[in-house]
Amino acid sequence: MYKVVEVPNDVLRQQCQRVTKFDKKLGKMIDRMFDTMYEYDGVGLAAPQINQPIRVAVVHTDDETGPVELINPEIIEASGSEIDDEGCLSMPGIFGPVERFEQIVVKSQDRLGRNVKIKANGFFARAIQHEMDHLDGILFTDKLVEKPRVVFMGTPEFAANTLREVIDAGYDVVGVVSQPDKPVGRKREIKPTPVKEVALAHDIPVLQPIKIREDYQALLDLKPDLIITAAYGQIVPTVVLEAPRFGAINVHASLLPKYRGGAPIHQAIIDGETETGVTIMYMVDRLDAGDMLSKIIVPIEERDTVGTMFDKLSAAGARLLIETLPQLIAGTLTPEAQQEEDVTFSPNISRERERLDFSRSGEDLYNQIRGMNPFPSAYTTLGTDRLKVYFAEKVPGTGTPGEIIALEADGPVIATGSEIALKLTDLQPAGKKRMDGTTFMRGVGQTLTIGQKVGEQA
């Protein structure tokens, strides 16, 4: 067993030499390095830590990845970003947050000189990067990043996913602000918001002011260094936005300056866009008007709905935020002002906009249906009863707008104001559960006739 070299020692600051001789002496040294690492209760050890300035390290984080020997290692692929605390056998009792790649692929050699490739994720990847730094004379304290006190503001599942990622990346979330709990379902039971549920699961204090513009002192008392918002649902006052030294940023589900407002996902689909995305921006006391910090583009596929895009954009936004935060904290980002001439808005969906007007084109109606699925949902009427429509298929067909021109096994076909008709394949009749078109045609559909009209003409 070796004695581990501790700071300060010049050998820990040397650029180590490549290994060119693969012999029994090298193999014995590696075996003793493993013994030393285990004795010191470590997960990695580099050759300079045993006073040998050569490019050799050993790592053993768990039995699944197994003990790994690294000789002349090089990172050839890397992705993701994660901040977490590290320590070092050469600096006992010292710990601090370091940003590392989350996934890496390393090209290395074994003790016989054979080339090997190692894929590593999470803690395993972190340990390898830590030991490889030693081979270049770098200590983990050289890479310490500040852990700002973060207050997260958000309400729905879109924001909950973002909060999970912020917590998992190791940021110090000292408080969460969410909308007040509301009754849900037929029984009108009070249920916590998705963001509140995540916060409580991680023992993070939760504030739920009815009006944040009037009731914000408890938030300021948390002394945030950074505020992150995502679909919070209220306008945040300037006094709050100006409090954190790193500012207040928002995760907005559009490619700003397009689609400012409360329903950017809905509106992008309703407008027939083929792509949207997420923008990270500074918050100001105007609706989604702050300078932009980063963006990511997310395609909108032909059959995407608000529901599917909600999930895609939530995941993309969380990833983008985690990639953006280290640069924001380090001060290496250059904010970009929004061009006012390119601004468009996406107001919350009103009840009037939910109604299907079959005098419009089939393409527009198809996009309207997708842009309101699953919430708030588009609708038409059968007689005096409301019929919610969650999805439809575009099919060729003409007739008087709103006229039933075919009754197929998987749904009724309705004429529109164009040569594209719509087959309603996912519906919810008044007083019944949501159902597919086939189920509908076996029930309510049996009462329909060719030539019957739906909608305002009915």
Those residues whose C-beta lies under 8 Å from the C-beta of residue 169, and which sit 6 or more positions away, are: 81, 82, 83, 84, 322, 325
Q: Given the DSSP bridges, would you call strands 275-282 and 292-299 parallel, antiparallel or unpaired? A: antiparallel
- CA proximity to 165, closest of 321, 279, 296, 330: 321
Q: Given the DSSP bridges, would you call strands 248-252 and 420-429 parallel, antiparallel or unpaired? A: unpaired
Residue type, 213: R
Sole residue written with tokens 């932009």: 292
Q: Do 198 and 271 contact (CB within 8 A), yes or no?
A: no
Q: Do 92 and 82 contact (CB within 8 A), yes or no?
A: no
Q: Given the DSSP bridges, would you call strands 404-408 and 68-79 parallel, antiparallel or unpaired? A: unpaired
Q: Let me know if 442 is exposed, middle or buried by CB neighbors in 10 A (0-12, 13-18, 19+).
A: exposed
Q: Do 260 and 287 contact (CB within 8 A), yes or no?
A: yes
Count CA atoms closer than 13 A to 357's CA, side-chain side.
5
- CA proximity to 280, closest of 244, 245, 256, 315: 256
Those residues whose C-beta lies under 8 Å from the C-beta of residue 424, and which sit 6 or more positions away, are: 389, 391, 392, 411, 412, 413, 414, 437, 440
Count CA atoms closer than 13 A to 227's CA, side-chain side.
28
Measure the CA–CA gap between 284 and 435, rounded to whole angstroms: 44
Structure-token pair, residue 109: 């050699």
Measure the CA–CA gap between 245 and 149, rounded to whole angstroms: 10
Q: What is the DSSP string of 96-134?
A: EEEEE-SEEEEEEE-TTS-EEEEEEEHHHHHHHHHHHHH
Structure-token pair, residue 238: 């300037």
Q: Given the DSSP bridges, would you call strands 172-177 and 206-207 parallel, antiparallel or unpaired? A: parallel
- Residues annotated as catalytic are 44, 49, 88-89, 130-131, 134
User: What CA dihedral angle connects 285, 288, 289 and 293, to 10 degrees?
Assistant: 110
